[in-house]
Structure 1
Amino acid sequence: MSRPQPAPQPATQRARRSDATENRERILHAARGLLQENGDVAMAAVARRAGVGQATLYRNFTSREALIMEVHRADVGELALAAGELVRTRPPWGALEEWLVRLADFGRIKRGMTDALQAATLAELATEGYGPIIDAIDELLRACRADGRLREGVDARDVLLLVGFLWRMGPDEWPDRAQRLLRVVLAGLRTG
């Protein structure tokens, strides 16, 4: 007859949670890398790159789509948070320029997601990410407006529509065309 096992100690529980969090982050990092490279997010490839077993991968993400959605959520969250950080640490116009470069990088990753998902999931991706991105652009534009460097009448939706080219460019057009077009957009947004 086996004896009941003692309950895990608090330190053991914290270590397990820490390991689980670390595994989850490694999985997301691996999936993001595969999306950037070639849009391939085969679960086995993600597990190999993350250095975790299939069981660990599926315990965290039940499907390929769930994994891609989480990469999208994490990236949108980081992009949205970056706006506030940039406004606090850079001159307003420099913050807007740097954030748009980050948005361009996000656009390249999103292209891989577009190829990886079905149309129904794409609508969910776009809807879910829209609000945080608009809020981030708004924060950057308020800082530029207060600094007197933003053309009158420009709002966050205008900027998002102007940079929509990022999601329509072919992989061979990065980064030269993206950078050149972002400079054109920024010149159009600036006063004088």
Structure 2
Amino acid sequence: MTEAVRADARRNYELLLSVAREAFAEHGTDASLRDVARRAGVGIGTLYRHFPTREALLEALFRTRFDDLRLRAEDLLSSQSPREALVAWLKELAIGSTTYRGLPESVMAAVRDPDSELHASCMRMRGAGAALLDRAQRSGDVRSDVTIEELMALAAGVAWVSSESTGGADLVDRLMILVTTGLATA
């Protein structure tokens, strides 16, 4: 493969990501892939060469975001009280999940499906959140019967509700306060 071909392929890859980001912001994660290719000025075959599935495209878009959430959880393990660290991470997860309509559903589906292109990124992020939950439970700040699956479902629910209303980040904050109050031990 020549340098020019590799450079052209890299440009197409980056252009497709940029256009997909815009299309998903406008239409949610179910935006037409044919429309993404058309907007990028490439054929649908070019899109599928780079991203064989919708999930492969989503994974490329969100890998960095999920890695950032994982790193944030790791930082929070030593920076705040266990409960505050967990709550801060859950808020960031919920707010980040409001970026695109349909994203919370995509994340929850990927966690359940080991064959999903998003699965590995989601599971690394989930594992980091589980460490925060474990720390908060060991400190006695959070109920011992709460699971990371339940917390991710709560964050996804908060994200979905806030993306379907006009409340935005303020609504996420209010809902997270209500949700996390229920996590506390008596």
How is 1:43-62 mapped onto 2 (pairs within 5 angstroms)?
43=33, 46=36, 54=42, 59-62=49-52
Aligned length: 174
Q: 1:92–1:147: 8 Å Cα contact kept in structure 2?
A: yes
Query: TM-score, structure 1 length as denominator?
Result: 0.61
Q: 1:36–1:109: 8 Å Cα contact kept in structure 2?
A: yes
User: C-alpha offsets along residues 19-62 of structure 1, whole Å, 9 cap, x if unaligned?
Assistant: 93x8745643553343234327455765698xx75277555224
Post-superposition offset of 1:92: 2.9
Partners in 2 of 1:63 and 1:159 — Cα distance? 28
Partners in 2 of 1:24 and 1:89 — Cα distance? 37
RMSD (CA atoms): 4.2
User: C-alpha offsets along residues 73-108 of structure 1, whole Å, 9 cap, x if unaligned?
Assistant: 554444333311332444433322221122112332
Instruction: Quickly say closer, same or farther: Cα 1:77–1:33, change in 2 above 3 A.
Output: farther
Partners in 2 of 1:69 and 1:54 — Cα distance? 20
Pairing 1:31–2:5 present: no
Tell me, what secondary structure is at the counterpart of 2:113? helix
Corresponding residue for residue 158 of structure 1: 150
Q: 2:154–2:179: 8 Å Cα contact kept in structure 1?
A: yes
Unaligned runs of 5+ in 2: none
How is 1:1-192 mapped onto 2 (pairs within 5 angstroms)?
20=10, 24=13, 27-39=16-28, 41-43=31-33, 46=36, 54=42, 59-62=49-52, 64=54, 66-109=56-99, 111-113=101-103, 123-124=109-110, 126-128=112-114, 129=119, 131-166=123-158, 168-169=160-161, 171-175=164-168, 176-192=170-186
Instruction: Quickly say closer, same or farther: Cα 1:77–1:30, change in 2 above 3 A.
Output: farther
Question: In the alignment, residue 107 of structure 1 is paired with which amino acid?
Answer: S
Question: In the alignment, residue 71 of structure 1 is paired with which amino acid?
Answer: L
Post-superposition offset of 1:145: 3.2
Question: In the alignment, residue 151 of structure 2 is paired with which amino acid?
Answer: V
Partners in 2 of 1:125 and 1:147 — Cα distance? 27
Of stretches 140-149 and 36-45 in structure 1, the one that deviates more from structure 2 is: 36-45
Identity level (%): 30
Greater C-alpha radius of gyration = 1
Query: TM-score, structure 2 length as denominator?
Result: 0.62
Instruction: Quickly say closer, same or farther: Cα 1:131–1:114, change in 2 above 3 A.
Output: closer
